[in-house]
Structure 1
């Protein structure tokens, strides 16, 4: 993980904040050269955010309230007008009504020119994974923490019942563990979920081995040194083996993630692949058994643990067409660097960050242990920004659609071929 240090920003008044935002060059609002313009901090700004069961409107407003009080800026929190922030932001751009700050998504090929370059601001260098998410050395999205993707939660009671004394590190050991859970009568040895979750979970399991076999695999695909089919067919073969053995069934990809999480908490699931955000649910509804976590398997035990898949938590962007760039940038700096703001966001949706106190959430502490043990953090296939982005839009949705076909009887080779064909038809450049 790069750039994980942090400092506490001091927010006293609009007059005191403005000097903190002075950059080496000045430009009028709307330019994309890293400057905040000549405007002073104050006035009103709009922030488009993701609204969920835990990221509620009220909690967002509570989060920005200290900034409003200390800076004099009025922050208007807005949820998506479409199905998601990813759908809403481009629509608002086209309508000329884009928000000043955008949360939860990354720049795409189409929207990147509309996002402010923050590279020259001194506080940016200390934000998490800043180098990983940069493009040609430029930073136009910053995050507050990292959310580990490659986490396997397991039920220690069920492992003990199945006679599993150590968590598996290799694919062979993983298969043996699943077989032992099934033999012990565990209802769901490994649980996948429907909709977006199927593809994400599959990728999460594959991140370590994939990045051992082909480091920076996205660049290998983009450079035509490999294909998406080649990158994922070995994973599809593992999934097919588990489906054929009955460790996971077609019912999984018809069951939403909330229900599968409830099934894990109820004690009917042996292993549940999910991102670090699941710790928030576990902390709110602790299971009646001890939960453990381990990293996904790799081919050779000597390579364990492999690189850990991770994404930026709370990614923030500033619209470079904003009429109040100084205040928008001040808000993003506050959210990404202020200790109290960082803590508040971690309580809303768990993430890892060096120095962050995880002692109050035992499940966060478990995931932090995986992050600390990982040789490196790597970006998943659905990344849309940075030097490791695939030159194609819609990867995650298509990947999910195709991988669900494995549960419907399609072969690993068929799904891999379709994934490569889709990429060849959709890639840009």
Structure 2
């Protein structure tokens, strides 16, 4: 079945395109051609991360000002045909039908397929640009930063359960899950798909990398193990939540959107999710409760570092036949003041030097970020970590729902790492 597409028109002035082409190193074989008016023409395919917030209409609106002032070139927004952008891109690379631009975070394994961005101020000023380097080259530029180690909670549920302060330690979090369950709520809202492992990482990564940001490298050197780490502690806690029913055993059968809908319907007490959930909360109509937010709990109750990641990043495929146009469009998306502000506001993201009118929930997330003793990247996606770790973590955490013990889960992570380190 063909993927649904949305087409918009954009164009680039010939002078700007020529200078960008020189920076990008594109060749005269590009299928981008000059019209009689001197503007570039051609179609750019953008494979985009489509979510409940980042819809096709969102991407169309994001480029609309660029479209209005530069007619003559079409941009086709494409959604993934597989389970996610990464798998779709890999399929399309194999089939020879890769897009021109990817609007999504990608594993570093595909970096050799991407165009190196020029050493220009608009590139190096993007968030975490140094962290995005592979072999000293920037292959992905981002619009903003996302905060990930957050727990959104139902304030009405907390009141009915008799919870007067938000939990800071893992033990208090577990106790409060029981109180919420006794009050008739799902203690912790989760889902299947990618959500299970991602939530676990949002909770456990600060405890792993907060004290030791190089934990992944130390695991590669076999100096540490998952079985003797904070991951083991969180796996045991998580297994206990499932056993007690605070997290229903059928949760992995739910889809991501179902988990959002259930939380917003007031069925659950807490929901671990990144700052992009703020937009869904703020856009919801007639919520039956007020949503609050607090940092994910630590083992000892100390303030956690925040897992942070790049928000709405872009990459350009080397195989694209219109490098100049691709580069101009990406430059607009990550450096135009209005475009960046729109991007940040869409998911409640942040970037130094930018601000926008926020909601009370935006402000609460901002306060958490400001109070955090630092930030970590999260193990999945860290330099030197096998790109498949995120999928393996998801599989292992979901196995807790089918009877695997926490010790077995930790051992499986260690076995996987030993078999895949450095690959």
- Normalising by the residue count of structure 2, what TM-score does the alignment of the two structures yield? 0.85
Q: Contact 1:29/1:320 (CA < 8 Å) preserved in 2? A: no
After superposition, the Cα gap between the structure-2 partners of 1:214 and 1:360, relative to the gap in structure 1 and judged at 3 Å, is closer
Q: Contact 1:192/1:260 (CA < 8 Å) preserved in 2? A: yes
CA apart distance, 1:41: 7.5
* Equivalent residue number for residue 401 of structure 2: 407
CA apart distance, 1:136: 4.3
Distance in 1 (alpha carbons) for counterparts of 2:68 and 2:354:
25
After superposition, the Cα gap between the structure-2 partners of 1:164 and 1:235, relative to the gap in structure 1 and judged at 3 Å, is same
Listed as ranges, the gaps of 5+ residues in structure 2 are 1-9, 29-33
Correspondence 1:299-338 to 2 at 5 A: 299-301=299-301, 303-304=302-303, 306-338=304-336
Higher mean C-alpha deviation, range 399-408 or range 81-90? 81-90
CA apart distance, 1:419: 1.6
Q: Contact 2:278/2:362 (CA < 8 Å) preserved in 1? A: yes
Distance in 2 (alpha carbons) for counterparts of 1:191 and 1:333:
38
* Equivalent residue number for residue 189 of structure 2: 191
Distance in 2 (alpha carbons) for counterparts of 1:175 and 1:398:
25
After superposition, the Cα gap between the structure-2 partners of 1:79 and 1:257, relative to the gap in structure 1 and judged at 3 Å, is closer
Correspondence 1:9-408 to 2 at 5 A: 14-15=13-14, 17-18=16-17, 21=20, 27-29=25-27, 42-44=40-42, 45-72=44-71, 73-109=73-109, 111-183=110-182, 185-231=183-229, 232-286=231-285, 287-301=287-301, 303-304=302-303, 306-383=304-381, 388-390=383-385, 392-408=386-402
* Equivalent residue number for residue 420 of structure 2: 426
* Higher strand proportion (structure 1 or 2): 2
* Equivalent residue number for residue 6 of structure 1: none
After superposition, the Cα gap between the structure-2 partners of 1:19 and 1:103, relative to the gap in structure 1 and judged at 3 Å, is same
After superposition, the Cα gap between the structure-2 partners of 1:56 and 1:171, relative to the gap in structure 1 and judged at 3 Å, is closer
Indicate the SS of the match to 1:220: helix
Q: Deviations over 1:47-75 (max 9, x none)?
A: 22123443333332232232233345432
* Equivalent residue number for residue 33 of structure 1: none
Distance in 2 (alpha carbons) for counterparts of 1:291 and 1:389:
37
* Equivalent residue number for residue 31 of structure 2: none
CA apart distance, 1:250: 0.5
Q: Deviations over 1:106-126 (max 9, x none)?
A: 2432x2111111151221122
Listed as ranges, the gaps of 5+ residues in structure 1 are 1-10, 31-38
CA apart distance, 1:293: 0.5
CA apart distance, 1:162: 2.9
Higher mean C-alpha deviation, range 91-100 or range 402-411? 91-100
